[in-house]
Chains A and B, each alone.
Chain A
Amino acid sequence: MIKDSYSIKINNFEGPMDLLLYFINRDRIDIYDIPIFKITKDYLKYIDIMEKMDIDLGAEFIYMSTLLIQIKARMLLPKVIDENSEEIDDPRVELVHRILEYKRFKNISNELHDKLELHSKRYPKGTLMNFSPAIDVNNVLPVDVKIFDLAKTFMNILNSLPENNELNLVIEEITLQEQINFIRDILSSKKIFYLTEIISNNSKIYVINLFLAILELIRIQEIDYKQTKNFSDIMISRLN
């Protein structure tokens, strides 16, 4: 690993442009007059350190090093001054344009970030919790329940069923369709019910089919489900 000979803050640079801009800001370099020798040296040193630390830099970092070396080489060549042209061909021009453009968008994104921060403190009406007035009889604060939580709760219920050690060869007659009809029947007479109300001491096949029926009815958006917290009872209601 690296000994204390280098002290460079390893920032999380977004890319080679970000790294170049970091050097420019750190050394207060005038973008229009970049000391290409120094910045190439710093850049290559950084790449070297990252490689020694086995940090995989993207190809874009390597591309930028070749670009820097190329510019450096062109700076070393004697300048050919064209009599007809007043412009002096500076090999750094294109890089300067790119850094400026990047810097500009870096500023914009800071500005945008501030706007986001500011605006996230302002809330539209009633978007935080999905109170459903029709179901909100017990003033239940629903939490964000995923199908996965539902399945975990269901596993708890399954585990709590009495273990039957006797070999039972009676074929279960309860089908998924029957359980779907069963739930529909309950919901035609009452608005809501709790899962534990209808499970009681039935067999595993019965309960599994019941659970599958609930999942199916959720999928086709016939019913809604709510849970106050993980592993607690599940409340089922009609969804119109």
Chain B
Amino acid sequence: MNLKNIIEVLIHSTPNPVFSKEIISVLEEDHIINLPEIINEINKEYAKLDKGYRIEKIGGGYQLLSLSDYHPYIEKLQKGVKKPRFSKAAIETLSIIAYKQPLTRGEVEHIRGVDSSGIIKNLLEKGLVSIKGRDGGLGKALLYITTPIFLELFGLDTLADLPTLEELSQLLNEERNSI
């Protein structure tokens, strides 16, 4: 059977991202498979046929996603369904945890300058952050990290997809020079 078709079918079979190692374990091929290249070929075919979806690398796995152009139609079809919403404070807290993880609540609060326990609790409940362990310091505070759900929700493959701090400080410097 066509290897490319099998891989495509596997990714089509679930709404969740499928990990490379899951695909490879199913295939039972002896030789090494260049998965990213095969996915790329499939996506090229979709583009050629002008299809409304593509396979993307999300949270370390491959996921079939509709193109954003078609968003208004899907939204109309699903008018009752609520998408997760985040407050400014929640995204602020998430970004601090994403960059500085693992870190304690105290460290988050030092940067934000305000109590963040409620927000962190909420993010924990939504499964966007989790507890990694305890700090070795005084009080043995809990350490927080982001989860794969965070990556999936924000459409990131790995944490490395976030803008680097260098890129951001460059932005800051440009701003500073413009003053």
Contacts and interface: CB of A to CB of B under 8 A. Distances in A.
Nearest to A124: B15
Given A28-B179, A108-B168, A102 B67 contact: no
A112 B146 CA distance: 13
Interface stretch (B22-30, B40-48, B72-80, B131-139): B72-80
B63, B98, B112, B115, most chain A CB atoms within 10 A: B112
Contacts of B67: 122
Nearest to A30: B179
Interface in B12-68: 12, 14-16, 56, 63-68
B88 interface: yes
Interface size class of B (residues with CB under 8 A): 35 or more
B9 interface: no
B113 to A, nearest CB: 4
Contacts of A28: 179
A interface, size bucket:
35 or more
A17 interface: yes
Contacts of B171: 107
A129 B171 CA distance: 42
Contacts of A60: 113-115
B3 interface: no
Interface string A17-32: 1100000000010111
Contacts of B169: 104
Contact of B68 (A107, A122, A124): A122
Interface of A: 14-18, 28, 30-32, 58, 60, 64, 98, 100-109, 111-113, 115-116, 118-129, 143-144
26 contacts: A14-B88, A14-B92, A30-B176, A64-B113, A101-B111, A105-B92, A105-B95, A105-B96, A105-B111, A105-B112, A107-B172, A108-B162, A109-B91, A112-B91, A112-B162, A113-B88, A115-B156, A120-B83, A124-B16, A125-B64, A128-B78, A128-B81, A129-B78, A129-B81, A143-B80, A144-B81
